[in-house]
């Protein structure tokens, strides 16, 4: 198992946040490319059939059932948002194969790296409240985390790291020989952070280029704690989720015995879904959710005004400021896909994940874009409303 983990965790959670941008695609050693987002076609409300409550979406359901079978997904959820209304919400397949328990719309799934946009919302809120700046230094004297991690002296390049570098994955942290967030699962984050600063010199000067880093986002969680005086989980709950009535996103647990009551079981032949320290991932990949709650988070972070947003328009950081963005997540036993845009956003959650995660995630996005473009009419109901 150790050999499997060392091989596998080189690239876990190494997923691009695909952004609608005029910037050239950036090459990364984990995924080889970041592709610009391909949001679903925007429909003109003045053209074609007007949406009615009688519109059938059964073809979406049957097509996804075939897609599941082709990809050997035990269970899944889909949510589709149109014009900030939840127009499609469906659960598929089995949450526990051994007990033959079905997935329901309340079933919870690990969302892996889709935890990172949640962390960015928390960083954005601290900035909005005047408690944090993107250009603040992370390590060393007069910095946010000071000398909490590592032994003195801290390397000069490490002293140059700012919050913005962590947000944009440009701090220079290396995943060599492996991603340290998946090493020695019995150790706490403080010990791992000491090892990074003491044993792993940065691979480039901060700000020079992109290199995806789960460790960097875990550090953002510690920055949120330092600036708020609360635990990362409590700050997110009290300032991002609860005020916006997003009530079914929770911090996940590592073991099968510790899983939440409504949480699915995870399936993978790649590596054990229960061999990781999910709690230690936290701000980088620790949350669990269902598709409906993640869809509500998407609507409230899309920068539009029809639904009250978590942040006032123009106050997010990084891709949260863009009109369209996509983020993926994966772990052994988990695939998660989120697209935020207008008029359509969507969520897909799956309780299996293998080493071909990048190919399968691309296929999920292609499938979703195709079925949305093909559908020529949509219900005018809103499944976010409790009586619909």
**179-201, pLDDT tens digit by residue?**
999 999 999 999 999 999 999 99
Q: What is the DSSP string of 309-334?
A: -SS-TT---GGGGSS-EEEEEEETTE
97 lies in a domain?
yes
Q: Around Cβ 356, how many Cβ atoms within 10 Å?
A: 11
Quick one: average pLDDT of 249-274? 97
For residue 113, what is the DSSP state? G
CA distance 167 to 169: 6
133 lies in a domain?
yes
CA distance 12 to 28: 14
The whole-number pLDDT of residue 13 equals: 43
Residue 191: helix, strand or coil by DSSP? helix
CA distance 301 to 321: 9
Taking only the tens place, the pLDDT of each residue in 266-306 is 999 999 999 999 999 999 999 999 999 999 999 999 887 77
pLDDT at 118 over 80: yes
70 lies in a domain?
yes
Can you give the three-state secondary structure of 92-107, one letter per residue? Answer: EEEEECCCCEECCCCC
CATH number at residue 190: 3.40.710.10
Residue 332 to residues 16, 49, 275: CA-CA distances in angstroms?
17, 43, 9
CA distance 287 to 263: 12
Decide: 30 and 169 in contact? Cβ < 8 Å: no
Q: Which residue's structure tokens are 């990048």?
A: 358
Rg over alpha carbons for the chain, rounded to the nearest Å, is 20
Share of the chain above pLDDT 70, in %: 85
383 lies in a domain?
no
381 lies in a domain?
no
Decide: 192 and 148 in contact? Cβ < 8 Å: no
Phi, psi of 321 (to 5 degrees): -85, -10
Taking only the tens place, the pLDDT of each residue in 44-95 is 443 344 444 579 999 999 999 999 999 999 999 999 999 999 999 999 999 9
Decide: 14 and 116 in contact? Cβ < 8 Å: no
Tokens of 27: 């090459």
Taking only the tens place, the pLDDT of each residue in 344-384 is 999 999 999 999 999 999 999 999 999 999 999 999 999 99
Task: Quote the Cα angle for 337-340-343, to 5°.
Answer: 125
Decide: 136 and 144 in contact? Cβ < 8 Å: yes
Residue 368: helix, strand or coil by DSSP? helix
Domain that holds residue 87: 2-374
- Give the chain's end-to-end CA distance (angstroms, integer): 47
What domain count does the chain have? 1
347 lies in a domain?
yes
Tokens of 308: 């009250």
Residues 6+ apart with CB under 8 A from 385: none
CA distance 61 to 362: 19
Taking only the tens place, the pLDDT of each residue in 127-161 is 999 999 999 999 999 999 999 999 999 999 999 99
379 lies in a domain?
no
The whole-number pLDDT of residue 176 equals: 84
CA distance 332 to 318: 28
Decide: 37 and 53 in contact? Cβ < 8 Å: no
Per DSSP (E only), the strands in 217-292 are: 249-251, 287-289
- Phi/psi zone of residue 216: left (φ > 0), alpha (ψ -120 to 50 degrees), beta? alpha
User: Given pLDDT bands bounded at 50, 70 and 90, which one contains residue 227?
Assistant: very high
386 lies in a domain?
no
Share of the chain above pLDDT 90, in %: 80
Q: What is the DSSP string of 119-133?
A: HHHHHHHHHHTTS--
Residues 6+ apart with CB under 8 A from 132: 123, 126, 163, 223, 227
CA distance 357 to 376: 31
Residue 152: helix, strand or coil by DSSP? coil
């Amino acid at each position: 198992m150790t050999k499997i983990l060392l091989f596998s965790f080189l690239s876990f959670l190494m997923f691009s946040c695909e952004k609608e941008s005029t910037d050239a695609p950036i090459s990364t050693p984990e995924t080889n490319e970041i592709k610009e987002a391909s949001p679903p076609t925007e429909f003109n409300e003045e053209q074609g059939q007007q949406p009615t409550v009688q519109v059938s979406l059964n073809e979406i359901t049957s097509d996804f059932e075939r897609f599941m079978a082709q990809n050997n997904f035990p269970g899944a959820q889909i949510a589709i948002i149109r014009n900030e209304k939840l127009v499609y919400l469906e659960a598929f397949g089995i949450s526990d194969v051994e007990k033959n328990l079905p997935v329901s719309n309340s079933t919870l799934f690990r969302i892996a790296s889709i935890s990172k946009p949640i962390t960015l919302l928390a960083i954005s809120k601290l900035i909005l409240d005047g408690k944090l700046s993107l250009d603040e230094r992370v390590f060393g004297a007069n910095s946010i985390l000071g000398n909490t991690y590592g032994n003195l002296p801290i390397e000069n390049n490490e002293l140059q790291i700012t919050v913005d570098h962590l947000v944009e994955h440009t701090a220079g942290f290396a995943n060599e020989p492996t991603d340290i967030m998946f090493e020695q699962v019995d150790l706490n984050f403080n010990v791992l952070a000491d090892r990074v600063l003491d044993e792993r010199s940065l691979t480039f000067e901060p700000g020079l280029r992109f290199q995806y880093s789960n460790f960097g986002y875990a550090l953002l969680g510690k920055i949120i704690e330092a600036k708020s005086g609360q635990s990362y989980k409590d700050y997110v709950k009290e300032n991002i989720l609860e005020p916006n009535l997003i009530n079914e996103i929770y911090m996940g647990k590592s073991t099968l015995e510790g899983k939440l009551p409504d949480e699915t079981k995870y399936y993978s032949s790649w590596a054990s879904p229960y061999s990781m320290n999910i709690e230690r991932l936290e701000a980088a990949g620790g949350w669990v959710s269902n598709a409906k709650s993640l869809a509500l988070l998407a609507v409230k972070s899309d920068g539009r005004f029809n639904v009250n947003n978590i942040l006032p328009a123009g106050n997010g950081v990084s891709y949260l400021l863009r009109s369209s963005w996509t983020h993926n997540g994966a772990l052994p036993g988990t695939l998660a896909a989120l697209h935020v845009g207008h008029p359509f956003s969507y969520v897909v959650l799956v309780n299996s994940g293998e080493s071909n995660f990048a190919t399968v995630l691309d296929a999920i996005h292609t499938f979703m874009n195709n079925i949305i473009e093909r559908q020529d009419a949509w219900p005018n109901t809103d499944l976010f409303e409790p009586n619909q």
